[in-house]
Structure 1
């Protein structure tokens, strides 16, 4: 299994993840827009046991609780991943990967709350909330 690397903007926090993502999407919800400062967050989902912090775990800023949270670098603020589904899954912020994953986003979610100034121009399916 190929392992991918990722890191925050300043390099304080690094991670490794199997190139075995189960799904990937572009999330347009207001929380993802705020945490990334962008029109949407491309993310890829994987079971938690296939993801590991390899450097700087003590420097993480956790927003949320033990079972569902966003993990940012405590130095530069980069959103690295989100722990979801009662801590069973990790949503890796794809922009933090330093290696190219084999998966690509397959759909857009929460387009009902997308930024009004952003126009989705690809042909990927769009969902008002979560994918049914």
Structure 2
């Protein structure tokens, strides 16, 4: 079982579904949404996540992307895209037990910030890993 919450605790989530993938995203939109040099998240089956509290939505990319967050404190909680309609991507930083997160790769490596030094051995994909080979 994995559980998490927003900063103020008004929105909580839990899932017992297997993690489909886990990694660090360096894309511009994730950086701006989280005000961080990259963000770490993982995918689970969308219908497996149970929520308590009320989520707010921010829809972008012509309605193809939905980011959900706590309306009280602003904590980003999900990323959902038409590209992966059966998945919800949850932010690792919201986990009650962050040790449950085990990243498998870096995504959107081509958009990484030049001043951020990354020294791990994880595969690095130019964009998403869908059908792609690592670039580093």
Tell me if TM exceeds 0.5: yes
1:82 aligned partner: 79
Q: 1:35 aligns with which of 33, 36, 41?
A: 33
- Paired position in structure 1 for 2:109: 111
Q: Is the 8 A contact 2:69 2:76 kept in 1?
A: yes
Structure 1 spans left out of the alignment, 5+ residues: none
Runs of 4+, deviation exceeding 6 Å:
none
Question: When the two structures are superposed, what TM-score results if normalisation uses the length of structure 1?
Answer: 0.86
- Alignment of 1:61 with 2:78, yes or no, is no
- Provide structure 2 residue ranges, at least 5 long, that are not aligned to the other structure: none
TM-score (norm 2): 0.84
Over the aligned positions, Cα root-mean-square deviation in angstroms equals: 1.9
Q: Distance in 2 between matches of 1:82 and 1:93?
A: 8
Q: How many residues align?
A: 127
**Is 1:25–1:44's contact at 8 Å kept on the other side of the alignment?**
yes
